[in-house]
Amino acid sequence: MIRGEKVTLRARRPDDVEHAKRWYADPETARWLIDVGTYDVPAEPMAYGDVRLTVDDTETGTPIGTAGLSGGSPEHRHAMLFVVIGDGAYRGRGYGTDVVRTLCRFAFDDMNLAKVELEVIAGHEAALHLYEGLGFHREVHRRRALWIDGAWRDEYLMGLLAGELR
Amino acid sequence: MNGDLVTLRPMDPGDAAAQHRWFQDPDVTRYTGFRYPPSLTAIETRLRGAEDSTFANPRFAIDRRDTGETIGYVALRDVTPESRAGELDIVIGERSAWNLGFGTDATRTICRYAFRTLGLHRVHLWVFTENAAAIRAYEKAGFVREGVARDRWFKHGRWHDCLLMGLLADEAAP
Amino acid sequence: MVPGALVRLRAPEPADAESFYEWFNDTEATAGLGVRYPVSRRTEREWVERGAVPSYAGAHFAVETLDGTLLGTCGLYGTNAPENRSAELGVALVDRTQWGKGYGTDTVRTLCRFGFEEMNLHRIELLVFAHHAYAIKAYERAGFVREAVARQAHWGDGRYYDDVYMSLLEGELR
């Protein structure tokens, strides 16, 4: 387990899939998702290239979302962070910040990555605020990058170097 | 990629004949971990099926720069991305190329690749303690003796002690 | 069953997987083991299945007290070069509530005795973090000797750590 202050990040299991279905069906969750896909429960043990986790609220043990580091490149030592707080009751209360900070610490301290990157849809103010508060820099502004829900969206690529995590 | 005396290049099936010849020569394999001589077919199959160098196991043939002759191979094994460490494995198979500095140069070249291209933190190797010539070459390339594992490998009727040598990124020559 | 003075070693069973899942996800319990990524139940189940038939190439055991309380796992690994008669020892007593009772030392002794007397090993080696003084002392009590320090070989907790190689040869077990 990877322990944060209020969250626990753990390996996925089959009974998480039901929770994920509920999360992705919630329009408030879905509007900021870049790639939905299915909720994979990986067969292989987690490794450098592919860390996919379920987020539990530590106090109740309830799954509240998902997070991970994908596409880890051993040569370039970076990976793409993703996080979805799927349960609306846990948004806006610091759980997201806890997940991202904890996962970044894991990325640097345990995986020895040099940089964590992520994509965020322009206009997702809560997320931008969260990432910048932890030290992420906006690096690239991709105009009209995504077609979501009937409209074009811009997106930002953000990055955090080892040593910059606040 | 180029050293001063050697070039490291990807292996291909055309290397099979030379590799097969080397592995039959007991003087070549004396200080390696080899026991069972592989067949030419086995080597060809492996070379055909091998992907290009991967991060976990980069492998190269060694060519002399002066004559272009292929004289051996060098590889890194078990490269772990988190700890950024890899194990060096080198064989100079052509006896005519021994004691001319090719081994040292190939070692330096792959270490430069390890640190500059792969961004590794550490390269280590195991060498039989009685292989004084190799130990000297590795020390010339900057490797530091880290300790001796007793009776680590059985060969030629007895156990052999093996010396662990390591080179860290900030110790390597640029 | 391989009986010791305080513990015994047996083959892992499916019922063990749930406990292993909890313990191997406990960061404090696994601090000395180099476990990085959270494990899934499936990983533990599959490990149990693979280990269900301990053999020369991989002798995995579940460790329990003499009255049947599960403590963790141990094994002798990497004996796929039977010519060397050498194996790497691993002990993971990951139930923290059972630490400090002498189970660790007895597990090491029992496992080594098995390695020498049943598997006919000549050498048992292990890797331990240089800063784990407690573990190093426990191994030395059983007769292990420090051989080499692999400098900055392991990344964890935001920095590089040294690994110490230790070994025990047949006849040296205390």
Whether B50 shows a pLDDT value over 70: the answer reads no
Q: Which domain holds residue B71?
A: 6-123
Q: Is residue B73 part of a domain?
A: yes
Tell which residue, C2, C123, C138, has the closest CA to residue C59. C2
Q: Is residue B56 part of a domain?
A: yes
Of B35, B83, B146, the CB nearest to C154: B83
CA distance B120 to C156: 15
Here the CATH number for the domain that contains residue B114 is: 3.40.630.30
Nearest-CA residue of chain A relative to B81?
A: A74
Among B54, B57, B82, most A C-beta atoms within 10 A, so best to mutate, is: B82
Q: C100-119 pLDDT, tens per residue?
A: 899 999 999 999 999 999 98
Domains of chain A listed by start with CATH number: 2-161 (3.40.630.30)
Q: Provide the terminal-to-terminal Cα distance of chain A, rounded to the nearest Å.
A: 22
CA distance B35 to B90: 16
Q: Which CATH number does the domain C2-122 belong to among 3.40.1190.20, 3.40.630.30, 3.30.300.30, 3.40.50.1000? A: 3.40.630.30
Q: Is residue B137 part of a domain?
A: no
Whether C79 shows a pLDDT value over 70: the answer reads no
Q: Is residue B171 part of a domain?
A: no
How many Å lie between the alpha carbon of C52 and the closest alpha carbon of chain B?
Answer: 27
The pLDDT score that the predictor gives to residue A133 is 97
Q: A4-30 pLDDT, tens per residue?
A: 999 999 999 999 999 999 998 888 888
Interface check A75 vs B, CB under 8 A: yes
Q: How does residue B51 score in pLDDT terms, banded at 50, 70 and 90? A: low
How many Å lie between the alpha carbon of A91 and the closest alpha carbon of chain C?
Answer: 24
Chain B residues touching residue C122 (CB < 8 angstroms): 151, 154, 159
CB contact under 8 A, A112 and B84: yes
The pLDDT score that the predictor gives to residue C153 is 96
Structural contact between residues A53 and A67, judged by C-beta atoms closer than 8 angstroms: yes
Q: 3-state DSSP helix/strand/coil percent for chain A, to nearest 5?
A: 25, 40, 35
The pLDDT score that the predictor gives to residue C52 is 72
Nearest-CA residue of chain B relative to C124?
A: B152
Q: Is residue B102 part of a domain?
A: yes
The count of domains in chain B is: 1
The pLDDT score that the predictor gives to residue C80 is 59
Of B85, B144, B149, the CB nearest to C165: B149
ipTM over 0.95: no
